[in-house]
Amino acid sequence: MPLVVMCGFPASGKTTRCQQLCSHLSSQFPSKQVHVVNENAEGSSRNELYANSHKEREVRGDLKSSVQRLLSKDDVVILDSMNYIKGFRYELFCVTKSCRTPHCVIYCVTDAETSKSWNLMRAESEQFDPLLMDELIMRFECPSPNNRWDKPLFSVVKDEELDFATVCDALFEQKAPAPNQSTQSQPLSSTNFLYELDKRTQDIVTEIVSAQKTAVPGDVIKVADSKESITVTRTVGLSELQRHRRQFITYTKMHPVDDIQKLSSMFMQYLQKSLDN
């Protein structure tokens, strides 16, 4: 079901807000299960995870995978992490689009000094290293309501209560974003679609190259596997035909057809238009 993306400086109260939201959702929507995803499952301290850029990328990948695995039509997933990189928030937004589920971002607003003081109030084992904390605050990319991947955005400061009613409306009442070409998985027409696409286009290129050895400009060239033909007004080299073939394959992978028998005719039509331009 919906995804809630927590966001804020280190030690900005994200986990506290997450717990408050969990309690509210559990009491108001007892039939829905609430899943909380965070770095605690990684088995290393946050200082170790965020001090190493390679480990941090791995953590983000693991968090994203966990979110994808838990999203369903019945449950709520809360990602309790800094989520301070706008590119990562965009990736999460794309996940919700592909799953056709709503999402929202809750931004826990604090200044640097407040977060540092709250960090010192934690148990020593849970504190961020001061130098690392400065680096993370400096790298923080603030969410903006102008970014579609940050909407709807709920900003809450330390002395305010989270508006649970409005958050729930965003999660359960708003329409899920429609998937687009970049987020929607394209079903292949058959298990051997890619094999047939590669083989048929390569066979056509081979036949055209062979036919041109005895043809003159203006001749009509036909191939055995297609009802279509092309008129070649000049000699077309193998490298040019292969370039058009690669372009056709790339396009067809994104727009697969139901009938693989049409591939040859489609490629011949594509070649004729490409050669005419």
pLDDT band at 221 (very low <50, low <70, confident <90, very high): confident
- pLDDT tens-digit map of 118-160: 999 999 888 999 999 999 999 999 999 999 999 999 999 988 9
CA distance 244 to 238: 10
CA angle 38, 26, 7 (to 5 degrees): 35
**Can you tell me which residue has the tokens 């394209």?**
186
For CATH 3.40.50.300, list the domain ranges present in the chain. Answer: 3-172
Q: 201 CB contacts (<8 Å, ≥6 apart)? A: 245, 248, 249, 263, 267
Lowest mean pLDDT among 156-170, 181-195, 263-277: 181-195
208, 275 Cβ separation under 8 angstroms: no
Task: Tell which CATH architecture fits domain 3-172.
Answer: 3-Layer(aba) Sandwich (3.40)
- pLDDT tens-digit map of 47-71: 888 988 888 988 898 899 889 888 8
Diameter over CA atoms, the chain? 85
Average pLDDT over residues 149-172: 93
